[in-house]
Amino acid sequence: MATDCPEAPGEPDGDTLTVALHREELQVGTRVVDTGRGVRIHKTVSEHPHHIDETLPYDELDVRHVIVDKVVPLSEAPSTRQEGDTLIVPVVEEVLVTERRLRIKEEVHITRIQRSRSQSGTVMLRAEDVVVERFDEGPHKEASSTIRR
């Protein structure tokens, strides 16, 4: 027997016991392998007409001049006010009398009127089509698929 390890103490008759030790090692690496596989992508863009018909709201203003012809003291000078959908803007002038007073000459009444109209037309929408060709090993194995979005 070979003596790869020291004699174990306490063995009877001086016999030696040999234990073989083994260790595995691993080496990891990478390498480039040409598999002959690949893909080819074809992309096309197409336009398709799309008809739209929408109702669009808009505002119209009705402006009227309303004659008031009223004299008021300076302390009661009128200001712009809102009555419902109508904005009233007072127009004043100074008038010379024995004292200064404000006379409301007129008011401008502005009324908001909501209306709507139909709007139609044609818009162009684009769509993309993609064809993917896959190449596997071997000269006659070729597959293709179409993707549309």
| Closest to 107 (Cα-Cα) out of 83, 80, 93, 89 | 89
Domain that holds residue 119: 12-148
Integer Cα distance of 79 and 101 in angstroms: 16
Please say if the pLDDT value at position 51 is more than 70.
yes
Give pLDDT, residue 66: 93
Tokens of residue 62, six digits: 């009705």
Q: Which of 17-21, 47-51, 97-101, 106-110 has the lowest mean pLDDT?
A: 97-101
Is 1 inside any structural domain?
A: no
Residue 47 CA, distance from chain mean position = 23
Mean pLDDT of the chain: 80
Is 7 inside any structural domain?
A: no
Is 116 inside any structural domain?
A: yes
| Confidence class for position 36, pLDDT limits 50, 70, 90 | low
Give pLDDT, residue 149: 53
Give pLDDT, residue 91: 93
pLDDT, tens digit (0-9, with 9 covering 90-100), for 73-120: 889 999 999 999 999 999 999 887 677 778 999 999 989 999 999 989
Is 94 inside any structural domain?
A: yes
Integer Cα distance of 26 and 149 in angstroms: 48
Give pLDDT, residue 1: 45
Integer Cα distance of 110 and 83 in angstroms: 10
Is 2 inside any structural domain?
A: no
Total structural domains within the chain = 1
pLDDT, tens digit (0-9, with 9 covering 90-100), for 125-135: 888 888 888 77
